[in-house]
A and B are shown apart, each in its own frame.
Chain A
Amino acid sequence: MNSLEINNKMTLVEIINSVIELGSSRATLNIEEDSLLFENKINLNILVKIAKDRNISLELKTSDSLGKKMVRDVTMENDESEELNIDRYLDQEIAELHISKTTFKPEVSNKKMPSIELPRISIPSLDFSFLKGNKFLPIFLGFWIVVLFGSFFYLNSTLKADVEIFVQAERFVKSLEVRLSTIKSTDVDNKVFKGEAYIQTITIIEEVETTGKIDSGKKATGQVTLTNKTDSEIVLKKGAKIEYKSGSKDLVYLTTSEYTIGARKVESTSPNVYVNTTKVIDVEAFDFGSGFNLDLSKEVLLDGKSSDLVSGLVTKAISGGSKSDIKAVSSDDIKKVYEVALSRTRDSFKPFEEPGKVFLKGSEQFTVSKAEYTGKAGDALDKLKLTLTVDVRGLKYDKKDAENFVKASMKSILPKGFEVYGKDLEIEINLLGKTNSSTLTVDEGDVQVTVKTYKIPVLDTNEIKSMLLGKKFSDAEEVIKNIPNIISYNILFNYPLFTSIPSNPERVNVTISKK
């Protein structure tokens, strides 16, 4: 394995490059304190991710106190995301163990460590001078040796050790992508969670000021006298056009009723003398405006006839024409009131509160089922009102069902060797939205379920006990220190002078306490 020294002036890119340029599949990084890698876990994660993408296995070593914890956290987080490939898993476990040996020192609380105190025995000062030259001396000594050995064997055979290991509960936050479906049943393995359809009808009334304009006013009226110079009778229908042309001025008037102008008459023959027929016609201007007012004696024409055939003259001034604009509905107003109403429906949408049910925010979809306007384009209205009926469809779920789903999923999302600690299980369910890779329909939606809880390692007390049996105090400490996530421990003996763990499992008690 190749080793790299990472000083605290190296940038993240320099560190990544040095790992890659090493060209080895395994690298040990000795990271100086205050390295940029320990600024936040993101930097460390990027390094580990890029190394992993290139099949480089990293061992991270540091004496930085926060750095050690971050290295441990990041190593474990990365283990979680791995596929369960047994060989690789075992390999990583060795790597992790190695890291914890070199970098992780459990905090051993002074209060928890037993202070071994000898019992205070008052020993009288004895005068052994009488034994000098005494023939009972060997018997006396032999007696005490037997007593001492006997006591030792007795104490050793009744020695008991209580080992209490304190492990730390760690914050565990994990998100998983789940399909919330109203048409499928809950299926933990396939990450499908049964939801319900949310249906609501909203009616909203929106009003806007109209911005369109239409012409209004009075049409000029008057009389013209038409003279028929032909041999045929002329019948004018109501609305027949009478025109006035003068330079650029081109005005049109319409007859207000039906008229018949008789043909010219022969007054005498040889030679023929004709008398033209005239008719006074009431006319009205084609449009509003004073521009249509026309003075007396102006010459006018019947539409389609030349003045040689039919001549015309204003015989009663065409007057009274005026024009003004009034507000009316425009097509933009119709579009605007619709958009405003729909947007207000969306913005003000608040789902009904149902006990035990949670509406999935963002899943709402709006469909307009009815739109009733108080006018149409061109109608002379100051305001346009719209009554909009909108059907809202969305997704909701049962809070209890969500909890059960998450509980059932915990086994697969918790890292191997961990269990949930305590009862606090915080669940957040958020919609992922509609993207290329996620779905959102009225029936189904991809959601991100975020679980926040505490995890704690599952420790097998029997296994730990078997590892401790017969160990000296210092060796037992080493065994305990290598257990992940421990923060402190107590080893208590019933006889303070004995500091080895008994070999008999029945006289060793191992308990795990969680913090």
Chain B
Amino acid sequence: MEIFKNLQNLLKFKNSSPYFYTIDIGSDSIKVVLSEIKKEDFTLKIIDSIKIAQDENAFHNGKILDEASIVGSLKEAFKNLNLKHPLKVTNCVFSVSAPNSRTIMSTLKVSRSSKAVINEEEHSEIMHKLLDTAYSSLSQFIYEENLQESPTVEMIDAQPVFITCDGRPVLDLEGEEGSEVELCYSVSFAESKFLESISDISKKLGLEILSIIPASVAILNSLKKGKKEKLDGVILNIGASSTEAVVCFGGGIYLNKSLSIGGADITKALSKQLKVPYINAEKIKRLYSLGKLSDKDSAIVQKVILNILNYWLAGVEELFKNFSGVKAFAPEFYLVGGGSDLPDIKEQLFEEPWTKSIPFKSNPEFKKIDVTKLKELELTEDIKASEDLIPLLTAYHYFMSKGMKHE
């Protein structure tokens, strides 16, 4: 029953101040968003955000290698935010992406001997079974990926995709009557070791963790808010050291997978080729994305970028080949993460012939994530880069799913 207790814990809330930080730890930077829950307006106000450059030896490929360094970076971020907004903030929400978080869609059909009302105990039993099935299915996938048996992961989120009772869609099974019950959930897990590390970090910073939210879940839910509930598509989260592909069907996450190439690989290659420090290479990359380099400089930078993108594209193709059980991918691609701002990424992704070897329902196309449609979100400034979206949408997801239940 341990796994079910975890789910119940997810639904418990404590009294809290309206302010909270959302923290997104990346391999080359840490991003923090300061938000305020405005209950009277039912809105979430994004007060400010900050990005602190991160030592590459502190967090790499999803592994926290130097907790002290991360604590230091976060203290610096909080100090800077506090100078502009002297608020007492004691709570935080963490955003977590692959390879640290894995999400899998799990379906359970239950044939009941009678049509009696489903009580709390039976509901718990059904949920326990479903979550158990999700863990087993994920274990199988992980084994196929890296031969690791019984992975040490903990459940961090469970989002219903559909629940039916005798074919009727219902919101909650408890209290329903019927002989045939079917549940489908997208269940997210995170590496136990990573969870221990962020728990330690929070304690050292005197923060209480309100929630740990998979970035993919936050992004999908914001897309569903602005679009249709039964969304099909692929979310491609191009982080610094990895690229996560999240396949969504029927409004839920079917599965996520990742490869170890990301935006930082391009920055490193630029740093090496142009013989400039990493931080300057990052600036050059950003200027290139914004089209602010001269034609000649732009051509030099593009050559380096395309070389890495060739590997990246081969990786993305390999990644999609490894999604067993997907008959055809939905063609809508939602790009997030720092790497997605590069114009060449979109060109390569949608123009190269790699998609021919992967079954798509039609030619893949890029779809924008439009946060302005989220009417409960109050932005104090425009979103400048795609990488800022993840902590912002994580904060929004927390607010929409749990934030109003603080009392």
Instruction: Decide: A12 near B260, CB < 8 A? Known: A42-B318, A46-B315.
Output: yes
Q: Which of A12, A73, A432, A438 has the most CB of B within 10 A?
A: A12
Interface membership of B50, Cβ < 8 A: no
Q: B241 contacts A11, CB within 8 Å? A: yes
Instruction: Decide: A435 near B327, CB < 8 A? Known: A11-B260, A13-B269, A42-B257.
Output: no
Please tell me which stretch of B73-81, B85-93, B353-361 contacts chain A, meaning at least 4 of its Cβ atoms lie within 8 angstroms of it: B353-361
In the complex, what distance in Å separates the CA atom of A13 from the CA atom of B309? 10
**Residues of chain B lying within 8 A (CB to CB) of residue A434:** 361-362
Q: A435 contacts B359, CB within 8 Å? A: yes
Q: A436 contacts B359, CB within 8 Å? A: no
Interface membership of B314, Cβ < 8 A: yes
Which residues 302-329 in B have Cβ within 8 Å of A in the complex? Answer: 308, 311, 314-315, 318-319, 322, 324-325, 327-328
In the complex, what distance in Å separates the CA atom of A359 from the CA atom of B147? 35
Q: A433 contacts B315, CB within 8 Å? A: no
Interface membership of B148, Cβ < 8 A: yes
In the complex, what distance in Å separates the CA atom of A69 from the CA atom of B265? 28
CB distance from B322 to the nearest CB of A (A): 6
* Beta-carbon nearest neighbor of B361 in chain A: A433
Which residues 433-474 in A have Cβ within 8 Å of B in the complex? Answer: 433-438, 448, 450
Q: B265 contacts A13, CB within 8 Å? A: yes
Interface membership of B61, Cβ < 8 A: yes
Interface membership of A340, Cβ < 8 A: no
Please tell me which stretch of A32-40, A85-93, A238-246, A325-333 contacts chain B, meaning at least 4 of its Cβ atoms lie within 8 angstroms of it: A32-40
**Residues of chain B lying within 8 A (CB to CB) of residue A431:** 327-328
Q: A436 contacts B327, CB within 8 Å? A: no
Interface membership of A485, Cβ < 8 A: no
In the complex, what distance in Å separates the CA atom of A59 from the CA atom of B61? 25
Interface membership of A475, Cβ < 8 A: no
In the complex, what distance in Å separates the CA atom of A9 from the CA atom of B359? 35
* Beta-carbon nearest neighbor of A11 in chain B: B265
In the complex, what distance in Å separates the CA atom of A289 from the CA atom of B267? 74
Q: B362 contacts A70, CB within 8 Å? A: no
Interface membership of A66, Cβ < 8 A: yes
**Residues of chain B lying within 8 A (CB to CB) of residue A450:** 324-325
In the complex, what distance in Å separates the CA atom of A428 from the CA atom of B326? 10
In the complex, what distance in Å separates the CA atom of A491 from the CA atom of B314? 47
* Beta-carbon nearest neighbor of A73 in chain B: B147
Q: B318 contacts A438, CB within 8 Å? A: no
Which residues 235-277 in B have Cβ within 8 Å of A in the complex? Answer: 241, 257-261, 264-265, 268-269
What is the 8 Å Cβ interface bit string for chain A, positions 50-65, against chain B (1 contact, 0 not)? 1001000000000000
Q: B311 contacts A50, CB within 8 Å? A: yes
Interface residue total, chain A, C-beta cutoff 8 A: 38
Interface membership of A41, Cβ < 8 A: yes
Q: B146 contacts A46, CB within 8 Å? A: no
CB distance from A369 to the nearest CB of B (A): 26
Instruction: Decide: A13 near B145, CB < 8 A? Known: A430-B327, A435-B362, A436-B356.
Output: no
Q: B260 contacts A43, CB within 8 Å? A: yes
Q: B146 contacts A45, CB within 8 Å? A: no
In the complex, what distance in Å separates the CA atom of A171 from the CA atom of B324? 14
Interface membership of A362, Cβ < 8 A: yes
Interface membership of B363, Cβ < 8 A: yes
**Residues of chain B lying within 8 A (CB to CB) of residue A430:** 327-328
Interface membership of A16, Cβ < 8 A: yes
What is the 8 Å Cβ interface bit string for chain A, positions 95-133, against chain B (1 contact, 0 not)? 000000000000000000000000000000000000000
* Beta-carbon nearest neighbor of A48 in chain B: B318
In the complex, what distance in Å separates the CA atom of A434 from the CA atom of B148? 37
Q: B363 contacts A435, CB within 8 Å? A: yes
* Beta-carbon nearest neighbor of B322 in chain A: A42
Instruction: Decide: A66 near B147, CB < 8 A? Known: A42-B322, A432-B327.
Output: yes
Q: B260 contacts A36, CB within 8 Å? A: yes
Q: B328 contacts A16, CB within 8 Å? A: no
In the complex, what distance in Å separates the CA atom of A67 from the CA atom of B241? 21
Q: A438 contacts B145, CB within 8 Å? A: no
**Residues of chain A lying within 8 A (CB to CB) of residue B363:** 435-436
* Beta-carbon nearest neighbor of A34 in chain B: B63
In the complex, what distance in Å separates the CA atom of A233 from the CA atom of B241? 99
Q: B319 contacts A11, CB within 8 Å? A: no
Q: B318 contacts A49, CB within 8 Å? A: yes
Q: A13 contacts B359, CB within 8 Å? A: no
Interface membership of A376, Cβ < 8 A: no
Partner of A39, one of B146, B265, B314: B146
CB distance from B61 to the nearest CB of A (A): 6
What is the 8 Å Cβ interface bit string for chain A, positions 7-36, against chain B (1 contact, 0 not)? 001011110100000000000000000001
Partner of B314, one of A50, A173, A361, A362: A50
Interface membership of B99, Cβ < 8 A: yes
What is the 8 Å Cβ interface bit string for chain B, positions 348-388, against chain A (1 contact, 0 not)? 00000001100111110000000000000000000000000
In the complex, what distance in Å separates the CA atom of A40 from the CA atom of B268? 23
Q: Which of B259, B325, B356 has the most CB of A within 10 A?
A: B259
Q: A38 contacts B356, CB within 8 Å? A: no
In the complex, what distance in Å separates the CA atom of A123 from the CA atom of B328? 79
Q: B147 contacts A433, CB within 8 Å? A: no
**Residues of chain B lying within 8 A (CB to CB) of residue A38:** 146
**Residues of chain A lying within 8 A (CB to CB) of residue B324:** 173, 450
Partner of A13, one of B60, B146, B268, B319: B268
Q: A39 contacts B359, CB within 8 Å? A: no
Q: A11 contacts B314, CB within 8 Å? A: no
Q: A41 contacts B269, CB within 8 Å? A: no
* Beta-carbon nearest neighbor of A435 in chain B: B360
CB distance from B69 to the nearest CB of A (A): 16
In the complex, what distance in Å separates the CA atom of A35 from the CA atom of B103? 24
**Residues of chain B lying within 8 A (CB to CB) of residue A361:** 327
In the complex, what distance in Å separates the CA atom of A428 from the CA atom of B325? 8
Q: B319 contacts A42, CB within 8 Å? A: yes
Instruction: Decide: A39 near B147, CB < 8 A? Known: A13-B308, A13-B311, A435-B359.
Output: no
Q: B318 contacts A45, CB within 8 Å? A: yes
Instruction: Decide: A43 near B259, CB < 8 A? Known: A11-B268, A49-B318.
Output: yes
* Beta-carbon nearest neighbor of A450 in chain B: B324
**Residues of chain A lying within 8 A (CB to CB) of residue B322:** 41-42
In the complex, what distance in Å separates the CA atom of A448 from the CA atom of B260? 28
* Beta-carbon nearest neighbor of A361 in chain B: B327
* Beta-carbon nearest neighbor of A446 in chain B: B359
CB distance from A447 to the nearest CB of B (A): 8
Instruction: Decide: A70 near B146, CB < 8 A? Known: A361-B327, A433-B361, A437-B356.
Output: yes
**Residues of chain A lying within 8 A (CB to CB) of residue B311:** 12-13, 16, 46, 50
CB distance from A394 to the nearest CB of B (A): 14
Q: B61 contacts A39, CB within 8 Å? A: yes
A-B contact pairs, 24 of them (CB 8 A): A12-B261, A13-B308, A13-B311, A16-B311, A39-B146, A40-B99, A40-B146, A40-B258, A42-B318, A43-B260, A45-B318, A50-B314, A66-B146, A70-B146, A173-B324, A430-B327, A430-B328, A432-B328, A433-B327, A435-B360, A435-B362, A436-B356, A448-B327, A448-B359
3 tightest A-B CB contacts, nearest first: A430-B327, A433-B328, A40-B145
On B, residues with C-beta under 8 Å from A are 60-61, 99, 144-148, 241, 257-261, 264-265, 268-269, 308, 311, 314-315, 318-319, 322, 324-325, 327-328, 355-356, 359-363
- Besides A435-B360, A435-B362, A448-B359, 9 other CB < 8 A contacts? A12-B261, A13-B261, A38-B146, A39-B146, A40-B99, A42-B318, A46-B314, A430-B328, A434-B361
